[in-house]
Structure 1
Amino acid sequence: MKYLIFAYALITYALFGVVFVWIAAFLHNVGDLRGPASRPAVDAALINLALILLFGVVHSVMARPAFKRVWTRIIPPAAERATYVLQSSLLLGLIIWQWQPIPAVIWQVEGPAVWIFFAASALGAVIILVATFLLGHFEFVGLSQAWHNLRGTPTPPATFRTPMLYRIVRHPLQFGLLIIMVATPVMTLGHLIFVLAMALYIAIGLRFEERALLREFGAAYAAYQRDVPMLIPNPFRRSRGSVRGAP
């Protein structure tokens, strides 16, 4: 069973990597990935919002401690995080696969200026990857838990740290996501709906996550909240944060 859990975690990690690249290609419509419009705009918007709602509800429910306590009575605790990553990857893949294009153009940048958008998008991707590695990339994707289970050693408990990016913004991963979503030289109405719906989900999801972190880490996290912006960095604000919970 231990080897199966570790193999399962490896497979989910590989799928996560594929979907990460796929979503980046989707957002930039590489090779006309989204295709032409096939439905009336209102119908397309409703389908797209339903897809994002499905992702948001499942993603949020599975992240709640109460759900995890019940869920880990059904599946091995060492596979819980990998399963969370799996459902995220599958539902993001479903969004890309079933997305209904609404190609009305909001803005379109051409010429050398497009490289500014591509550079910003690349920066967002780097911020996301760096943010996961700063707090334990392999724990974030569920490999660390499966590895400790394979070796028969306990998974280290969550600790408070604020390395590098976490001294600038409390949630750099989500900040990077926002950059990737917005940094496109061609913004269509369909893309804008994706951005606004996902941004709303991120804002709501972070409120729940922050409540959980406050319950877990108490006054230390409350001090961190006062000192460091939640989502958008403030370059004029001095950060004194020193703690942060592991993902």
Structure 2
Amino acid sequence: MIRKALVLVYGATAYLGFLATLLYTIGFLAGVVVPKGVDDGTTGPAWRALLVDAALLTLFAVQHSVMARPWFKRWWTRIVPTAIERSTYVLASTAVLVLLLWLWQPLPATVWTVGPAWARGILWGLYALGWIILVFSTFAVGHFDLFGLRQILDRARDRQYAEPGFREPWVYRLVRHPLMVGFLIAFWAAPDLSVGRLVFAVAGTGYIMVGVRLEEHDLKAQLGEPYEDYLRRVPRFVPRPVR
């Protein structure tokens, strides 16, 4: 019972930490509400800020990608219990993101500023829409599995956890990666784009382009022909016009 309780506390802590960090990230990129936004902080030499920010973004990309690979999971679950493997991934991703937000160096020089109030309102609306699409997509595909909650609950109930089978919720019939579409919209919908925000958006976009290909390669190996057929039918990011 003590072990089950510890697993529950561990998984819940990882999930709540992720939620808090996600909310902070939304404010961080928008430069509102949170104590430190993407353009806040003491400015120094641009080369040093760019070097630090690039190192932080690379660290996040490597951690996020390597720990998601099947070969790493097979090795990792020899060390950590299978029930908390996903929670550990969520916790590690959150820790690296917190480090990025904490140590981020501002590059506040302006790339663009949108003047008209109506245009700024549209961009802020798109920014919010991106995050809404992201969150909605996690529930469509299995929010509680994605963040390790179902795994720890099944462990607490002495049930054998089973990975969700391949299915196509309606939003995943429009594009293969709606969650990443949400990120892309949120990255680029900026009424005021600084050099620092541009670096974040470019690096995030580049990681997504590489990461989805790695994910699709793994899913083809895992799911076979059904997923290959899905790849042929559904576009990656941009919906096809309905005939």
TM-score, normalised by the number of residues in structure 2: 0.94
Q: What do the CA deviations read for 1:59-86 (whole angstroms, capped 9, x no partner)?
A: 1111111111111111111000001111
1:48 corresponding residue in structure 2: 53
Unpaired runs of at least 5, structure 2: none
Which of 9, 14, 17 is the equivalent residue of 1:15?
A: 17
Q: Assess if the C-alpha contact under 8 Å between 1:36 and 1:103 holds in 2.
A: no
1:160 corresponding residue in structure 2: 166
CA distance in 2: counterparts of 1:36 and 1:138, whole angstroms: 36
Q: What do the CA deviations read for 1:134-153 (whole angstroms, capped 9, x no partner)?
A: 11111111110000000011
2:37 corresponding residue in structure 1: 33
Q: CA deviation at 1:184?
A: 1.3
Say yes or no: does 1:226 pair with 2:228.
Answer: no
Say yes or no: does 1:140 pair with 2:146.
Answer: yes
Aligned with 1:236: secondary structure?
coil
CA distance in 1: counterparts of 2:186 and 2:198, whole angstroms: 12
1:86 corresponding residue in structure 2: 91
1:101 corresponding residue in structure 2: 106
Q: CA deviation at 1:33?
A: 2.3
Tell me the matched-pair count: 237
Aligned pairs for 1:187-206 (under 5 A) are: 187-206=193-212
Q: What do the CA deviations read for 1:189-239 (whole angstroms, capped 9, x no partner)?
A: 111011111111111111111110000111111111111111x2224156x
RMSD: 1.3
Aligned with 1:30: secondary structure?
coil
CA distance in 2: counterparts of 1:102 and 1:68, whole angstroms: 37
Q: CA deviation at 1:127?
A: 0.8
- Residue identity matched to 1:7: V
Q: What do the CA deviations read for 1:76-126 (whole angstroms, capped 9, x no partner)?
A: 110000011111111111111111111111111232322111111111111
1:76 corresponding residue in structure 2: 81
Aligned with 1:107: secondary structure?
strand
Q: Which moved more, 1:17-26 or 1:105-114?
A: 105-114
Q: CA deviation at 1:36?
A: 4.4
Aligned with 1:9: secondary structure?
helix
Q: CA deviation at 1:37?
A: 4.8
- Residue identity matched to 1:13: Y
Q: Which moved more, 1:96-105 or 1:25-34?
A: 25-34
Which of structure 1's runs of 4+ aligned residues deviate more than 2 A?
A: 31-34, 110-113
TM-score, normalised by the number of residues in structure 1: 0.92
Q: What do the CA deviations read for 1:16-37 (whole angstroms, capped 9, x no partner)?
A: 1101111111111115623145
- Residue identity matched to 1:26: F
Aligned with 1:63: secondary structure?
coil
Unpaired runs of at least 5, structure 1: 239-247
- Residue identity matched to 2:21: V
- Residue identity matched to 2:114: V
Percent sequence identity is 41
